Amino acid sequence: MIRKVAAALAAFFVSACAAQVPPQLARAPAAPIDVQILAINDFHGNIETPPEAASITKPDGTVLKARVGGAAQLAGALEHARDGHPNTITVAAGDLIGASPLASAYFLDEPTIDSMNLLGLSLASVGNHEFDKGSAELLRMQNGGCGKNTSRVPCRLEPFRGAHFQYLAANVQRTDGSTLFPATGIRQVGPIKIGFIGETLQGTGTIVSPAGVAGLKFTDEAATANALVPRLKAQGADAIVLLIHQGGKVPDNFEEEGCNGLTGDILPILDKLDPAITTVISGHTHQAYACTLQLGGAPRLLTSAGRYGILYTDVELSFDPATHRLIGERAINVPVTGAAGADPRVASLVERYVTASKPEAERVVGHLAGPAPKTQENGESAVADLIADAQLAATNAPNRGNAQISFINTGGVRTDLVPRADGSVTYGQIFALEPFGNSLVVKTLTGAQLKETLEHQFEDRDGRAQMRASSLVPSANFHFAFDLSRPQGDHIVAMTLDGKPIDPNGRYRVVVNNFLASGGDGYTVLAEGTDTFDAGLDLDALEAWLATNPAVPQLGRISDVTRR
């Protein structure tokens, strides 16, 4: 009996103690699992810190104005950002290469790919500039080797082993329906599986040389991405991230946080995306923003890190530890100020290539009396005028194509041309101005075809006619006038060559770069020209023209006569 009473009392006291366990000693719920995604876009071979200062708007509205970027500083910043984040991955949204400064482009962007390897890039979508030198050269960027696919010499400094990261190209299809690179990539980031889709903008085929993308088709961004969602879910993806080389614009250009006043081609894509695609890392517009938008029936995180490695985006995804369900996401763009130091391996790589390119970069090619800015008036700029004149001078001789008219597309004019204090212009400056390695092509067009070509410069937006982003600038002997109040297809109201009206039935020899000659930027009529003559590199033509010490062109070749 005594033993029974003792046992009952013991059970009572144990029960009472259990009921009185302090709340602070109870088991706390497991913390969320955080995954860090570090993202860049539109690096464009800027292995050195870009020379111009950037103005970056901070969350409190203040503006940081400083020289930022550089591959070594970017690598150091990313390594610092990874500190304390065991679950991390680094990705990119296109245009890592192409339209690059001399230190990278002179070596076919091999040092940029090597820099990306060293800074820990894992995945990258292709962008339009990845195709500047054609798909064969892009495949070499991925796979390595010294195959010669361009007029420039590969492996000029050292062997090239290719990208350690994987390019993705979901909407870049060959004629048999296969994709140029894998459409998707699954990455295990700690305990979480992330599914990545990589795409370029659907319009890539019209903004790069058609010859460079022959045999490739660029499909609708949203439809292609949505079709891949079931595959990624079947592979166990806990979240799906879209790396897309298409983007938007904000008034401040570079925002650390927010999407204030966001517009652009990315918005209708977001509106059509499957709700399972919760995170969109974008590019192409060279602008920076980071925010969550309610589009397409779901909240989505949208980011872009500007250009040239001046910022990187730090994305944090939070997951339920039991179900691995995404429960939160945030992002901020971080300026690459150099405060985290430079990665010594990347710094050594950059120094090696800059040193090798310096003699060519510093070589004086001619003189100019003053700056030729890129600032446009009616689509025309002084530096575009200069290039157009150089092209005509290089091709107007009978044995050089017998050209009568020259055009340059404004999208092919990358910088201002500002001579040194003594008026000298270097090869490095003109290389930055025309970095694509295009050749000049002379063709015969009728006067009617000339008019049709110039009409393509205009488009209707929201019921109003306006000039497209990439217009045509002529040589000094050719003038045209446009009237935006007239119907589409009839905006050009005057065209003269050496002061004489263009005859619709006349035949004219026209020189353009090979990008335009094959129908680039949608100028498809130029591809119909006949009696083709290949006249050498555009850069050689500009170098020869500057050697004559030309005057800075005055604007006035294009007139807007719109009735207001």
In this structure, what DSSP letter does residue 170 have? T
pLDDT at 212: 82
Distance set, CA 122 to CA 100, 224, 255 (Å)? 21, 22, 25
Name the packing angle between helices 344-361 and 110-118 (round to 10°): 170
Dist. CA 479–CA 498, nearest whole Å = 8
In what helix (H) or strand (E) does residue 108 lie, and over which residues does it extend?
none
pLDDT at 28: 65
For tokens 């070509």, name the residue. 453
Which DSSP string corresponds to 35-98? Answer: EEEEEE---TT--SPPSS-EEEE-TTS-EEEE----HHHHHHHHHHHHTT-SSEEEEEES-SSS
CA angle 31, 35, 40 (to 5 degrees): 155
Q: How many CA atoms lie within 13 A of 284 on its CB side?
A: 22
Dist. CA 268–CA 111, nearest whole Å = 36
Kindly give, in sequence order, each residue whose CB lies less than 8 Å from that of residue 71, ignoring residues fewer than 6 positions away.
46, 47, 48, 112, 115, 119, 309, 346, 349, 350
**218: which 2 tokens?**
């660029």
pLDDT single digits (tens) 409-440: 999 999 999 999 999 999 999 998 998 888 89
Going residue by residue through the chain (564 aa), what tens digit of pLDDT does each one get? 444 444 444 444 444 444 454 555 456 678 999 999 999 999 999 999 998 899 999 999 999 999 999 999 999 999 999 999 999 999 999 999 998 999 999 999 999 999 999 999 999 999 999 998 999 999 999 999 999 998 889 999 999 999 999 999 999 999 999 999 999 999 999 999 999 999 999 999 888 878 789 999 999 999 999 999 999 999 999 999 999 999 999 999 999 999 999 999 999 999 999 999 999 999 999 999 999 999 999 999 999 999 999 999 999 999 999 999 999 999 999 999 999 999 999 999 999 999 999 999 999 999 999 999 999 999 999 999 999 999 999 999 999 999 999 999 999 999 999 999 999 999 999 998 998 888 899 999 999 999 999 999 999 887 789 998 889 999 999 999 999 999 999 999 999 999 999 999 999 999 999 889 988 888 999 999 999 998 888 999 999 999 999 999 999 999 999 986
pLDDT at 522: 87
Kindly give, in sequence order, each residue whose CB lies less than 8 Å from that of residue 276, ignoring residues fewer than 6 positions away.
229, 233, 240
pLDDT at 88: 98
In this structure, what DSSP letter does residue 526 have? G
Which DSSP string corresponds to 256-276? Answer: SSB-TT-BSTHHHHHHHS-TT
Residue 296's closest CA among 365, 225, 356, 207? 225
Dist. CA 183–CA 168, nearest whole Å = 5
Q: What domains are there in the chain, each with its CATH number?
A: 35-354 (3.60.21.10), 364-560 (3.90.780.10)
Dist. CA 248–CA 240, nearest whole Å = 21
Dist. CA 270–CA 272, nearest whole Å = 5
Residue 127's closest CA among 198, 221, 193, 49? 198
The stretches of 275-402 forming alpha helices (DSSP H) are: 344-361, 382-395
Dist. CA 91–CA 165, nearest whole Å = 9
Compute the chain's Rg from CA coordinates.
28
Instruction: Confirm if 281 and 241 have CB atoms less than 8 A apart.
Output: yes
pTM: predicted TM-score of the whole model, two decimal places: 0.83
Gap between the terminal Cα atoms of the chain: 111
Q: How many CA atoms lie within 13 A of 198 on its CB side?
A: 28
pLDDT at 224: 98
